[in-house]
Chain A
């Protein structure tokens, strides 16, 4: 479970950047790299330690004129936490 009210933040041991050659966002870490799909990248970019999960969902729904994204965001953040991509503040 993702802690309610807590704010996810990209693990400082990871770095996220846009790669022109791959035309995608990637997550870099010791001797490794994950290529992120667009929705993963949009969620991770908002994990800044300022917004809580509700804040991220609201922000995404506004940016993409969508509704009902909470379940997807929650599921992705579960994965991201298990992979240690994000830590919770």
Chain B
């Protein structure tokens, strides 16, 4: 195999602490077992080592990254090293003062998200507390000259309000809005039956989005992402395993994608024990699913294998029980029916009587105790 290219993206998940409890949270369900956070020194070293390898985009996320008191120090160092710095936040904790410090530390971009599916969305739609918070954040973002990027996770419970959501995004002065359907990993997988929209909902939402696109013209760019369960080819997950993305979790574990820790039989290295160079080029965790050599049928002899690299390893593991299988979203997979059956159940309405599971440390510990 040829030597892999450098990691171009560093995703620094600074903490799993979070004031919100989103039912589709992408953090691992067992996050409560990995709360030993890296020190400031460890993060500074990680930023330097990744930059030396060639990383140029740096995303600070979490949890809620604003809960780290050293965020400004990390942003300043990332900026000094020449990264383009992105902060992914719910806006909780973004005060005028903090924004000013982050701006002078060189933060390039804030992505403000609207996430908590029920209460937050209701608040937002009914113009109450959260809407005020988002408005304040949006104003701060604009006043500091940052691009105004809004991210809204879409699902069965809010997708019918998409027109209203876009209208409010416009009132907030957003320039880019991502309306991305939740992907069914982690907490969203637990809650999948509640979150997967119907085909009809999706079609309506896309139509509404298109109407708004015409109305808004150049003022705002809208990105609408359908759930991959409705596709017949899988996504090129992370643009290829260990290809451009390098995620560091709050406890320092290095992953090719933020959910990869769920995969069985793979040990992922920690930045406390190993240099990023060794991690990226030499570790088992990063090499296992690189390229196409690990593939089984139908991927191995498939003419499209370079196009999607067989889809997502986590989804293959979750839905087919084997991380080296084809992602069952692909209609060439023998297990594609697992996906179509979930989609069919979604058409019929909720069969599940179990309530939504909110992402809290207590739930996480409860789920841990069960395994």
Contact-size category for A: 10 to 19
B340 contacts partner chain A, Cβ-Cβ < 8 Å:
no
The smallest beta-carbon distance between B267 and chain A, in angstroms, is 27
- Beta-carbon contacts under 8 Å, B48-65 to A: 53-54, 56-57, 59
> Please, which residues of chain B bring their CB within 8 A of the CB of A13?
147
Among A17, A22, A28, A32, max chain B CB count under 10 A is at A28
Whether B111 and A33, one on each chain, are in contact in the complex, defined by CB atoms closer than 8 angstroms, is no
The smallest beta-carbon distance between B327 and chain A, in angstroms, is 23
A26 contacts partner chain B, Cβ-Cβ < 8 Å:
yes
- The residue that B147 contacts in the complex, of A17, A19, A26, A30, with Cβ under 8 A, is A30
The smallest beta-carbon distance between B13 and chain A, in angstroms, is 15
Contact A33/B57 with A12-B145, A15-B108 known, Cβ cut-off 8 Å? yes
- The residue that A31 contacts in the complex, of B53, B82, B111, with Cβ under 8 A, is B111
- Beta-carbon contacts under 8 Å, B143-194 to A: 145, 147, 149, 176
- The residue that A21 contacts in the complex, of B54, B145, B149, with Cβ under 8 A, is B54
Once bound together, how far apart are the Cα atoms of A32 and B109, in whole Å? 11
Once bound together, how far apart are the Cα atoms of A30 and B148, in whole Å? 10
Whether A19 and B54, one on each chain, are in contact in the complex, defined by CB atoms closer than 8 angstroms, is yes
Number of interface residues of B (CB under 8 A): 17
Whether B57 and A28, one on each chain, are in contact in the complex, defined by CB atoms closer than 8 angstroms, is yes
Once bound together, how far apart are the Cα atoms of A26 and B54, in whole Å? 12
Once bound together, how far apart are the Cα atoms of A69 and B59, in whole Å? 39
Q: Could you count the A-B residue pairs with CB atoms below 8 Å apart for me: how many are there?
A: 42
Once bound together, how far apart are the Cα atoms of A29 and B109, in whole Å? 8
- Beta-carbon contacts under 8 Å, B179-222 to A: none
B8 contacts partner chain A, Cβ-Cβ < 8 Å:
yes
Closest A residue, CB atoms, query B59: A31
Contact A30/B111 with A15-B84, A17-B82 known, Cβ cut-off 8 Å? yes
User: Shortest 9 CB-CB distances between A and B: which pairs?
Assistant: A21-B54, A28-B84, A30-B109, A13-B147, A21-B6, A30-B149, A30-B147, A31-B86, A19-B56
B interface residues (Cβ-Cβ under 8 A, vs A): 6, 8, 53-54, 56-57, 59, 82, 84, 86, 108-109, 111, 145, 147, 149, 176
Q: List 28 A-B contacts (CB under 8 A).
A: A15-B84, A17-B56, A17-B82, A19-B54, A20-B54, A21-B53, A21-B54, A21-B56, A22-B8, A22-B54, A28-B56, A28-B57, A28-B84, A28-B108, A29-B84, A29-B109, A30-B86, A30-B108, A30-B111, A30-B147, A30-B149, A30-B176, A31-B59, A31-B109, A31-B149, A32-B57, A33-B56, A33-B57
With A29-B109, A30-B149 given, name 18 new contacts (CB 8 A): A12-B145, A19-B56, A20-B54, A21-B53, A21-B54, A21-B56, A26-B56, A28-B56, A28-B84, A29-B84, A29-B147, A30-B109, A31-B57, A31-B59, A31-B86, A32-B57, A33-B8, A33-B57
